[in-house]
Structure 1
Amino acid sequence: MTVKDLARLTPSGYPAVSLLMPTHRTPPENQQDPIRLRNLLSEAKRRLDDDEAVPQSVATQVYEEIAEAAAHVDLRQVSEGLALFASPGQVHVRLLDSPVQERVVVGNTYEVRDVVADAARRHRYWALVLSEQPTRLWSGDGADLVEVHSHGFPFTHEGPGGTTGLPRDYGQRPSAHRDERHRQFFRDITSALAEIDALDSRPVFVLGVERYLAFFADEWGRPIAGAVRGNYDRAGPHDVYRVLAQQLDAHTSIQQVAALEALDVARGANRFAAGLAEVWTLANQGRAAHLLVEEGFHSAAWVHGDHLHPPDQEPHRDEPGTLVDDAVDDIVEMVARNDGNVTFVRDGNLAADGRIALIVRY
């Protein structure tokens, strides 16, 4: 799911259960994770059973769905957090690179703020390894890569010119026939990749020998985020990430520079806002076109209506304010939910703007 998809994640109905917990990579802390997860599942079951608005059959169904999803999570392979969402007939699991506050929430909507902010901070991409036997597609999320097995991937060139070879009666120009078969092979690959990218658009990185890269570029017909020359037919996920790491860093830097340049243009056109309080108000109004945030910026704050106050200044008005643990994550969710873009930039790039800035729509 994209950041915007996550921001709009909608339960199938009531009850919508959100279970979030911090996780740990190494012992001894990670030895407690299975116990904490069992305790949170017990808490979810108790709340479902005690909710008079939930028929017992529905409470049992939703609990079994979220418990089964939890049973398939390998807590030895997690990072900083885990999020489970379930409603009747629906369940979602997300492993997070950012720590979360431990909680179970039963309501009409999912508690997706932490998940959306975590997804926005991560660098997701497609890594396509070109080969005749076979071409493989990897879904990349930082250093984590998972092979795609859909839309025809992995692709193997099994026709003439591929595994079966060219017939002897192909005439005086067998290389031309071989090239045409290769073009058709890579045409099928680009069509399948285009379908996948339409569902989840990401930067595309390509690995392969020079000849295959040329065939792919001719058929793809759109910008490629990076290309690595060489034979990587037998490369596993760690190998693919290792050879792509430098290209990924360069692409991220280019994206950040482009976002900062766009911010300067917006500043000159008076379509610019800066600082946590002003950005919060405009994002809450749905006016955010592009949010820029420093990677290490987090801030608690008091929320009073559509206004934000520093954490040490509780608003003294007729209605009490609400203290949120991280207003930055809330802003990221609001922007994504309203079709805005989010770019995290390196710490210090927005020092003069209060570490957060916004390009507004109007």
Structure 2
Amino acid sequence: MLIVDDLDVQDFLSAGQGDERSGSPEVWVSLLMPTHRSGPETTSGAIMLKNLLRSAAQQTDEADRDWLDQAVEPLIADHQFWQFQGDGLAVFVSPNTTRIQRLSIPLAPEARVADTPHLVPLAPILARQREASILQLSLGQVRLFKVTGEIIEEAELGPIPASIDELTTDRDHQAQLQFTGQGKGGVSFHGHGGDGSIDEARRDRFLRHVARGLEEREAAQRAHGPLFLAATQDTADLFARLSGRPELIRRLISGSADGVRPADLLERARPVLDAFAERRQAEHREHLGQRRSQGRVLEAASAVVEAATHGRVEVLYVGPVDDEDIDRTNRAIIETLRNSGEVLASPETGDGVVATLRF
């Protein structure tokens, strides 16, 4: 049993290929539900999951469902488990696999038994569209935050220096060259720097170390979602140039954020995050329009599944799906991801699934 807070699609890429030993179709039970992060409502989760288990049991072979009870009943009885939840919970169970996912989005209660996991309601998470990172940067303080929807959490910096002090290696120089705060978040230097070139060199060296550490961390952590920068305009301009990330200027949460509480930082960042999301939606609508004009769009679920199976799907856009197309859409999601395509929530108001094609 694996309980995680981050949905990893790799867990499901082999789903639906059948049981190799028996040659029979695979069975997946998907139990989806909303949960509560705190308060007395947390205890209601066990009751809801018990009801969903009962519903799923009615959809499975009564003579051969011990694997389902053994996977889910311990969760129902685990009081501690329900005290540490997100906004939604997804439990995926097959005879050989159990995956419990604490999620940042609420889900409607649902129990579904099919030959694939039920991933349609999780399309926004599969697409990482609700994820972002915020780098709060000044010479005196560096912090990194992960944002998922309305939740912000401080992350470990790893190889990223926490302040310019961490890069001071010359003790004699450090004794001569001191720095003092100039207002909230600003830093100026004084010492034996002559024309100030040494001060600027030290500053630039620090910012390059931040950029390098950020790059290393992103590679090691398989970072998802866009990066935003919380900094003064001067610091942002310099960091964007030294790091080779000019896009950060368009993702700037302007002003010093030294010591700002995470919740207040998220409130300050919300207009910037929302503007970015609107631009992305406009880009996806434009992409769809281009592919339609080229005759490279499929909208029938059965045709989408076939194209995804053969690796033709470039991007799969998922909106609300009719019951009769849910199983096919789940299959299309898995096949698209298996063949290195993207899965995104639909940028349009229509229902169903739309695929743009590579060829």
Q: TM-score, normalised by structure 2?
A: 0.69
Residue 120 (structure 1) aligns with: 126
Contact 1:280 1:331 in 2 (8 A): yes
- Note the C-alpha offset of 1:32: 1.7
| Structure 2 Cα separation of the partners of residues 142 and 132 of structure 1 | 29
Structure 2, unmatched stretches of 5+, are: 1-5, 16-20, 22-26, 55-62, 178-190
Amino acid at match of 1:243: R
The 1:113/1:19 distance shift into structure 2, 3 A limit, reads: closer
Residue 185 (structure 1) aligns with: 206
Contact 1:113 1:329 in 2 (8 A): yes
1:254-275 per-residue CA deviation (whole Å, 9 max, x = no partner) reads 1122122222222222222224
1:87-126 equivalent positions in 2, closer than 5 A: 93-99=101-107, 111=117, 113=119, 116-120=122-126, 122-126=129-133
| Structure 1 Cα separation of the partners of residues 200 and 96 of structure 2 | 52
Contact 1:116 1:332 in 2 (8 A): no
Are positions 1:255 and 2:266 aligned together? no
The 1:30/1:172 distance shift into structure 2, 3 A limit, reads: closer
Are positions 1:268 and 2:293 aligned together? yes
Identity of aligned residues (%): 19
| Structure 2 Cα separation of the partners of residues 253 and 99 of structure 1 | 23
- Note the C-alpha offset of 1:242: 0.9
Are positions 1:210 and 2:217 aligned together? no
1:22-54 per-residue CA deviation (whole Å, 9 max, x = no partner) reads 134498865421345579899xxxxxxx98999
| Structure 2 Cα separation of the partners of residues 301 and 19 of structure 1 | 17
Residue 332 (structure 2) aligns with: 331
Amino acid at match of 1:113: L
Residue 242 (structure 2) aligns with: 219
The 1:273/1:96 distance shift into structure 2, 3 A limit, reads: same
Amino acid at match of 1:237: P
| Structure 1 Cα separation of the partners of residues 195 and 92 of structure 2 | 56
1:29-48 equivalent positions in 2, closer than 5 A: 30-36=42-48
- Note the C-alpha offset of 1:217: 0.7
Q: TM-score, normalised by structure 1?
A: 0.68
| Structure 1 Cα separation of the partners of residues 79 and 10 of structure 2 | 22
The 1:358/1:41 distance shift into structure 2, 3 A limit, reads: closer
Are positions 1:286 and 2:311 aligned together? yes
Q: Which stretch has the larger CA shift, 258-267 or 114-123?
A: 114-123
1:50-69 equivalent positions in 2, closer than 5 A: none
Contact 1:84 1:94 in 2 (8 A): no
Q: Which stretch has the larger CA shift, 29-38 or 270-279?
A: 29-38
Residue 356 (structure 1) aligns with: 353
Amino acid at match of 1:23: P
Structure 1, unmatched stretches of 5+, are: 43-49, 303-323
Contact 2:33 2:49 in 1 (8 A): no
- Note the C-alpha offset of 1:200: 2.2
| Structure 2 Cα separation of the partners of residues 174 and 289 of structure 1 | 55
| Structure 1 Cα separation of the partners of residues 98 and 83 of structure 2 | 20
The 1:154/1:256 distance shift into structure 2, 3 A limit, reads: same
Contact 1:125 1:202 in 2 (8 A): yes
Q: Please, which of 229, 235, 243 is the counterpart of residue 254 of structure 2?
A: 229
| Structure 2 Cα separation of the partners of residues 68 and 31 of structure 1 | 11
Contact 1:85 1:93 in 2 (8 A): no
- Note the C-alpha offset of 1:3: 6.3
| Structure 1 Cα separation of the partners of residues 120 and 145 of structure 2 | 25
- Note the C-alpha offset of 1:87: 11
Q: Which stretch has the larger CA shift, 140-149 or 267-276?
A: 267-276
Amino acid at match of 1:134: Q
The 1:284/1:53 distance shift into structure 2, 3 A limit, reads: same
* RMSD between aligned residues: 4.6
Residue 143 (structure 1) aligns with: 150
| Structure 1 Cα separation of the partners of residues 257 and 34 of structure 2 | 34
| Structure 1 Cα separation of the partners of residues 232 and 120 of structure 2 | 41
Q: Please, which of 130, 141, 164 is the counterpart of residue 157 of structure 1?
A: 164
